[in-house]
Structure 1
């Protein structure tokens, strides 16, 4: 009987604690419905993706076991971390205006083509957009002459950006994978 009484007291105690009201508050601040006018910004720059040399701007960080004998610069399933300089022109001596940091994954199995999926933030370190960036999350069919990437966000002056980037390969070394890519970007932001 004593054991049954103990079980009953524990059950009642748990029930009482579970049913005890607690004090909490929820706060929300809603902004008035203010219409902000969209801005359109056009950017033109060159991305230098350098895989070779002593100080590459792109390095392989993972590779599928099934492609370990693939000798191409970017075998299917490989993942690359990048910190590529953005320059005003296609010359290696042109002014650096920012960098592209992120990842790309080699996503095409056909060895005659090169395709990537890119997760990259394009940040500016010079000029009127210094401290601002836009982000791309898109498929990049590298072997196509003209291609387009989706802009999915931004920060700073490009907050809530959407848009697209038109790409054209300015230089590609098929042996080592080094490339210079021309970017013409249209951003819609507030």
Structure 2
């Protein structure tokens, strides 16, 4: 008796579920021609301070593979570093801070002579005309190249919305023993 009541209850529940009205939804898309906004080109010039040493570093190692535990270089192959690096107007440590580069970089080369970092960073401005705006870099950075090397700009927000472009990098200062570096950035952004 109990078994048939259970079967009847499940059957009623199944019929009730099938009797409900399905929700219908239509995909919505609207394309508006961009006649009101023209693309702009902005050129930026600043210095990026990546400091791994001292009592308050701006970059800290957050992971290192066990295979490279004995490697004494500041950024051995496979190491992952988190950053909150200041952006300054000039290469001097007392020059005005105009923003920060927050993100991570990964040491992506097995050979010290070809040291390459994979950068995933947001370059945000905290002062001046572009305060509150930022652009993103997702790119390979071959740090031993002596000519200005290039990284890709893949997006932006604020005044740099929908940015794309590139940055030319030149190492201004590098301490090979502790990894501290000052890098000159010349950035070309195309945005709305």
- Judge same fold: TM > 0.5, yes or no: yes
Q: Distance in 2 between matches of 1:80 and 1:123?
A: 18
The answer to which of 20-29 and 102-111 deviates more is: 20-29
Measure how far apart 1:22 and its partner are: 4.4
Residue 149 of structure 2 is matched in structure 1 by 147
Residue 41 of structure 2 is matched in structure 1 by 40
Over the aligned positions, Cα root-mean-square deviation in angstroms equals 2.0
Residue 178 of structure 1 is matched in structure 2 by 180
Measure how far apart 1:10 and its partner are: 1.5
Match of 1:156 among 142, 158, 172: 158
Q: Distance in 2 between matches of 1:126 and 1:148?
A: 25
Q: Distance in 2 between matches of 1:25 and 1:53?
A: 58
Superposed CA deviations along residues 15-67 of structure 1, whole A, max 9, x for unmatched, are 33134104566695736323321100000000010111111110001100110
Q: Classify the secondary structure of the residue corresponding to 1:7.
A: helix
Structure 1 pair 2–63 and aligned structure 2 pair: CA distance change class (3 A): closer
Q: Distance in 2 between matches of 1:58 and 1:23?
A: 51
Residue 132 of structure 1 is matched in structure 2 by 133
Are 2:15 and 1:15 equivalent residues in the alignment?
Answer: yes
Q: Distance in 2 between matches of 1:34 and 1:147?
A: 34
Residue 70 of structure 1 is matched in structure 2 by 71
Structure 1 pair 187–14 and aligned structure 2 pair: CA distance change class (3 A): same
Unaligned runs of 5+ in 2: none
The answer to which of 16-25 and 123-132 deviates more is: 16-25
Q: Distance in 1 between matches of 2:41 and 2:165?
A: 9
The answer to which of 141-150 and 14-23 deviates more is: 14-23
> How many corresponding residue pairs?
190
